[in-house]
Amino acid sequence: MITLKELSEIKERFIENGKKEQKINIVVGLATCGIAAGAKAVYNRLNEEVKARNLKNVDVKIAGCIGMCRLEPLVEVYVPGESKVTYVNVTEDNAAKIVNDHIVNGNIVTEMLVEKD
């Protein structure tokens, strides 16, 4: 049986490992609806921008259906220590803006967020 002290030590190791892996993750929804809406081109542009800027702390990843199919292509940005940001109706040009404004300069691109009804 694991003691409370052992659980606490495991938790601390997990937290320390998480601090070492402070990568920003950009996730593109590439299910059928996303692909039909142009998400593959968005994914490619995000990768090109990250590579061109030599951003070693950024990974561009693929997900299945993120939801909100009518708002595809969808891009989610996960910055360690911050809330997830979901961008909607992303184009290739918008993808470059996300990398420049949000990833590089830390400014969320508010015009691409979901509007509240």
88 Cα distance to chain centroid: 12
16 within a domain of the structure (yes/no):
no
pLDDT of 116 > 70? The answer is: no
State which residues form the domain around 62: 23-112
**CATH, residue 40:** 3.40.30.10
Q: Is 107 helix (H, G, I), strand (E, B) or coil?
A: coil
The length of the chain, given as a count of residues: 117
- Give the pTM: 0.80
Residue 9 lies in a domain: no
Average pLDDT over residues 71-98: 94
- What SS3 state is found at 27? strand
pLDDT for res 60: 97
The answer as to whether 117 is a domain residue is no
Judge whether 4 lies within some domain.
no
Is residue 117 scored above 70 in pLDDT? no
In a domain, 80, yes or no: yes
Q: Does residue 3 form part of some domain?
A: no
Any domain includes 64: yes
How big is the CA angle at 29 (ends 25 and 31), to the nearest 5 degrees?
145
* Overall domain count for the chain: 1
Q: Looking at residues 40-59, what average pLDDT do you find?
A: 96
- pLDDT tens per residue across span 14-41: 666 655 567 999 999 999 999 999 999 9
**pLDDT surpassing 80 at residue 102:** yes
Q: Is residue 10 part of a domain?
A: no
